[in-house]
Every structure is written in structure tokens, then in C-alpha cells.
Amino acid sequence: MSYADLAAAARGNIGPFCKACPVCDGRACAGVMPGPGDKGVGRVAHRNWEAWQGLHVSMDTLHEPFSADTRASVLGRELSLPVMIGPVGDVQRHYGEKYDTVSYNRCVLEAAAGEGTLAWTGDGLDASIMTEACDLIGELGGRGVPTVKPWDEKTMDAKLDQALAARPAAVAMDIDAAGLPFLRGQVPPAGAKSATQVSAVVARCHEASVPFVLKGVMTPSAAVRAAEAGVDAIVVSNHGGRVLDGTPATAEVLPEIAGAVRGSVTVLVDGGVRSGLDVFRALALGADACLVCRPFVVAAFGGGADGVRAFLAQLRSELADAMEMCGAAGVREVTRDMIWSR
């Protein structure tokens, strides 16, 4: 099953907000929230996708023949490809009734583990979203990454207790979720966090020997401050345009951010990554791995766990093809000079 097949199968099972487009480029759902769209005039999700398409690759097949090795070491784990499934909080609110959050998380967590990678789980105002996600990750021997919203201190402590008890591959905080319109003025409250507050969360995770990832970094200075706070990894992410209109695409800011913290933290990126070629582009710009979210929701609605596994296999195959056609035998051999520029 290709992604186009899965999207076709999802239509009628997903929605009404998501249209399960053959290419998930953010145009059909522009400005749609709740739903998979983005905030304000609805341009950022499409800009994310478009920026990857604007990066041309330097084909070079004058090399010894090889089969590309797509394996990557990320967060202390060896993954079969440098792609992880991104987190979704309230699945029914945004995508429809076919899956509740528990059944969706089980679908992607088990499929990702079966394909040799990791899925991340989301969080939300409903406390059961985090509780049940952590229970599932614990059942899978920690093969997953729970993502915590930037709650107030009391709520954060309770959520971290749940997350760390699952002995996960890592714990993440999507700090940019402070800008989600449906979290403003709610109970529990969510908001921006200082470097000191982030450092305290890092310390709790490190006490439990669990890596900590800060998701939602869009400037080199924020990346440096995150590194100084002790985080193990950052995700270059604008939350798919869902937290602030008018931001640049993640591909546009990735090279400078990666350069600012190279060697000190793992750099991940999301936003509009839709193919193995896009993953190749991200590696060339300095990322260690990618998160992909919305297409995996469509794959799950279109084909269940088999659909999720099929899309992961498609991404791995596309990445291997790009590597072989550009002369990179392994993911660490993908370099900036493999992106064509004038």
C-alpha cells in the first residue's frame, strides 16, 4: 500500500476536518482548528511542505555500488530509519471517531516498534490521554516517547511521574504548545517556560536515566539556551503552524540552528516532511532524524497498523533510493553538499 492508496482508503473514515489528501501539503485544511490545519490565515503548514520541495539534491552515481544503510542512532536507540512518528493529543477532536486516543496510540506505537523505530504520544486537557499513553509505552517495554505540554509546575510534576514510570526511550515537552488556542485560559494552565524551569525538568529525567527532548525550537539562540539547560535533543518545529501564524518553515531555519548546537545536542525536525527524499533533505541540512505526524494519522485511518507499517516502509525505501543516487552509503554520510545550490 502506497501513501496515496492509504489516503484514498481513509477518505470517508476520517474527518470532517482532514481531507486525507493524496499529498499532505496543508492546503485543503488551511486555517482549520480544531482539525489538522494551522492558525490564522493558514499558510505555515503549506510553507513547511513547500520549503522541502524547493531544495534540489545533487545526484551523483559515480561511486562503488552499495545498498544504503538507513539505520540511525537516536536518543540512545538504533532505529531502522531516521524517522519517528510524531505525537497527536486528542485524536477524535481533530481527526474523527474511528480511533479514540488509546486505540490510535496502540496502533502507532506497536507499528513503529514492529518497524524498528519509535512513536511519540501526545497530551491534552483530558488527563487520561497522558495516563493511558504512558501505560501503553510501559507495556511495550518503554518503546515510545511521551510528550508533555508545558503545564504549571504541579501538573508537570504529576505528568512526569507517569511518564518516567513507563521507562520510555525519552520524555519530550512541546514547549511551543503554549500557543495552542484551545489551551489558553484552561485548567490546568499551560504557558511559556524559562530555561531554569526546563533545567529542572531535565534534572528529573536524568535522575531516572531518561533523555529529555525539547520540541518547538525555531531560533539558534533558543537552541543554545536549550543546550545550556541540559536537554539531550531539540525538535526544530513550529507545531505545524498551529501555535503562531507567520513563522518561517522549519527547513528554512534548520541549518543555522543545527550549526549553533552541533555536537552538543541531537537535532530533530518536523513540519511538512512527507517523503524519504524530504528526510534526505533534512539530514543534509543538519538534522539527525525527523518526526512525521499527520500522514501517519491518515495511514492509520486508511489501513490500521498495517497502513502505518507500510508508510514507514515507503519512507525507508525512498530514503535509501535518494542515498544511493547521491552517494551516501549511510545516514551520517548525507552532507550539505548533497543539496544543490547556485
Mind listing the pLDDT tens digit for each residue in 208-266?
Answer: 999 999 999 999 999 999 999 999 999 999 999 999 999 999 999 999 999 999 999 99
pLDDT at position 1 is 87
The reply to whether the predicted model has a pTM over 0.85 is yes
DSSP letters for 127-162: HHHHHHHHHHHHHTTT-SEEEE--B-HHHHHHHHHH
Q: Average per-residue pLDDT in the chain?
A: 95
Whole-number Å distance between alpha carbons of 134 and 273: 26
Q: Which of 36-45, 183-192, 270-279 has the highest mean pLDDT?
A: 270-279
| Angle formed at CA 131 by CA 206 and CA 198, multiple of 5 degrees | 35
Contact 287, 52 (CB under 8 A): no
Contact (CB, 8 A) for 277 and 54: no
Q: What is the pLDDT of residues 51-61, one digit of tens each?
A: 999 999 999 99
Mean pLDDT of 123-140: 93
